[in-house]
A and B are shown apart, each in its own frame.
Chain A
Amino acid sequence: AQRVTQPEKLLSVFKGAPVELKCNYSYSGSPELFWYVQYSRQRLQLLLRHISRESIKGFTADLNKGETSFHLKKPFAQEEDSAMYYCAHTSGANSKLTFGKGITLSVRP
């Protein structure tokens, strides 16, 4: 069964500090991995996906198949980055999306 692990529940950093949100997955096939974000009082939304290899709001995430990881990184955190972040995995289009337990990122001024 596919599984997504986010080992930390909370990360608190000061503005301008680097951020790394960890995500590990277990899946025997070709994974499709995502980061979703939920800002306070807003709906969950897609932040980025590994296929596009893009940077969104300064965040990047690289798929490391050897380590089965998909960590989310940002070199300089901003206060508006404070939110709940979920790593998610699916085996393909119109397939079940499996979420990790999420991590709360708190960026202090």
Chain B
Amino acid sequence: NAGVTQTPKFQVLKTGQSMTLQCAQDMNHEYMSWYRQDPGMGLRLIHYSVGAGITDQGEVPNGYNVSRSTTEDFPLRLLSAAPSQTSVYFCASSWGTEAFFGQGTRLTVV
């Protein structure tokens, strides 16, 4: 039982490049979410999904897209990377009110 798995763990992008952060969970949780963690800002919700085919915006959605074609996977796409998107990204899946987090992806945009 791997829980929530994020790939890659580290990534460096050039401004304007696009990429997809992968997130997979094997706990059959319906609710999944993406957060970014920045110093002094805590964790801020980017996008979330309450089940396959359903997604919605969180607090800071601009510059990011998501889709949820299966219960297991919830990828986060950066359309055109900007230095302001340099951050640590966490994916989570939830059972009831408890969230289970991935190990994070540290993204640097230069």
Contact = CB atoms under 8 A, between A and B. Distances in A.
Nearest to B101: A44
Contacts of B94: 93-94, 97
A43 B101 contact: yes
A12 interface: no
Interface string A27-38: 000001010100
Contacts, number: 55
A99 B103 CA distance: 17
A99 B36 CA distance: 11
B42 A49 contact: no
A9 B40 CA distance: 7
B75 interface: no
B97 interface: yes
Interface in B16-57: 30-31, 33, 35, 40-45, 48, 50
Contact of B42 (A43, A46, A86, A93): A86
Interface string B67-110: 00000000000000000000000101010111101111000000
A42 B41 CA distance: 19
Interface of A: 6, 9, 32, 34, 36, 42-46, 49, 86, 90, 92-102
10 contacts: A34-B97, A43-B90, A44-B90, A45-B101, A49-B98, A93-B94, A95-B97, A96-B58, A97-B99, A98-B45
